[in-house]
Amino acid sequence: MFYTVKDVAEMLKIPESTVYEYVRNHVIPSFKMGKHVRIRKQDLDECIERLMK
């Protein structure tokens, strides 16, 4: 499953600009499909788990 930046922002209750910053700084692993940023569910789950420690 893949999420958009908007999906992640809504789930984490943070601004989309913050998600883009995390993506840019490689805090959240992501990839591009054309011009669109996508985040794998597994990568997001691992990122959240890593940051919660």
pLDDT beyond 90 at 53: no
Integer angstrom CA distances of residue 39 from 2, 4, 24: 5, 6, 12
Residue ranges of domains in the chain: 2-52
Name all contacts of 47-53 with Cβ < 8 Å and 24+ positions apart: 51/27
Q: What is the pLDDT of residue 25?
A: 97
Q: How confident is the model at residue 9 (pLDDT cuts 50, 70, 90)?
A: very high
Q: What is the pLDDT of residue 48?
A: 92
**Cβ-contact 2, 39 below 8 angstroms:** yes
Q: What is the pLDDT of residue 44?
A: 97
pLDDT digits (tens, 9 = 90+) for 11-51: 999 999 999 999 999 999 999 999 999 999 999 999 999 98
Q: CATH code for 2-52?
A: 1.10.10
Q: What is the pLDDT of residue 32?
A: 95
